[in-house]
Amino acid sequence: MDIFKTFIATLGNKTKSHKLPVNSIYDISINALNGTPINLSKFKGKYMLFVNVASKCGFTPQYQDLQKLHEHYGENLQVIGVPCNQFGKQEPGNTDEIKSFCEINYGVSFLITEKLNVKGKNQHPLYTWLTQKINNEKTDSTVKWNFQKYLLDPNGNLIDFYLPYTKPLSKKIIKHL
C-alpha cells in the first residue's frame, strides 16, 4: 500500500472515547526517549506543543522549525516530540537511532518522548487525552499523519490542534505564544 492510500485509510480511524482516570494532562505518565519518567506538571505555566514525529516522512524537515520554536519561545513553551511508527512505518528506529537522527540532522535539543501509539486500540493515554473531548474538554480529533500538533495553554488546557501541513512557525500557532 502506498503512503497516500495509507493516509486516506487513517482518515476514518477513530478510537472509542473513554474518560481517563486523571484530573488533567499533568497527571498522565510518559517517559522520555531514554526511559526517564517525564513529570508534565513541571511545565505548568508554560505552553506545551505536542508533535508526533517521524524521521522518514515528507514532513520531517519540520524538526528544524520545531527547534527554532524551542529556541525562540523556550521560556514560555515546551516543545515535546513524540516518535510514532503508525503512519507508513516512517519511524522504524530504536531509541538510539531516533536520538542520533534528531541531534545530527536537526540539532534537536527539545524534549523527545519514548515511541508511542497515537491512535488505535493501544493509543497512549497522552493521545487519548489530546484527541478526546471527554478528556480535554475542547474537541475531538483524530491524528491524521506524522507531525500533527497539539497546543496547550500554560494551565494545561487544549488550545487547538494543527494538521501536519501546518508549519510549526505558522501564525496559527505563534499567535498564541
Quote the CA–CA distance of 70 and 111 in Å, as a whole number: 9
The pLDDT value given to residue 129: 97
Q: Which three cell numbers stand for residue 128?
A: 487519548
Q: Which of 57, 66, 152, 158 is catalytic?
A: 57
Closest CA to 28 of 144, 159, 123, 153: 123
102 is catalytic: no
**For residue range 89-127, what is the model confidence (pLDDT) as tens digits?**
999 999 999 999 999 999 999 999 999 999 999 999 999
Run means of pLDDT, 10 residues per run, the chain, 177 residues: 42 65 94 96 97 97 97 97 97 94 94 97 96 96 97 98 97 97
* Cβ contact 131:116 at 8 Å: no
The CATH label, of 3.40.50.1860, 2.60.40.10, 3.40.30.10, 3.40.50.1370, for the domain at 31-174 is: 3.40.30.10
d(CA 164, CA 161): 10
The pTM assigned to this predicted structure is: 0.90
β-pair partners for 51: 81, 149
**Cα angle for residues 9, 165, 47 (degrees, 5° grid):** 110
Residue 20's Cβ-count burial label (10 Å; 0-12, 13-18, 19+) is: middle
Parse the chain into domains and list their residue ranges. 31-174
Phi then psi for 66, rounded to 5 degrees?
-65, -40
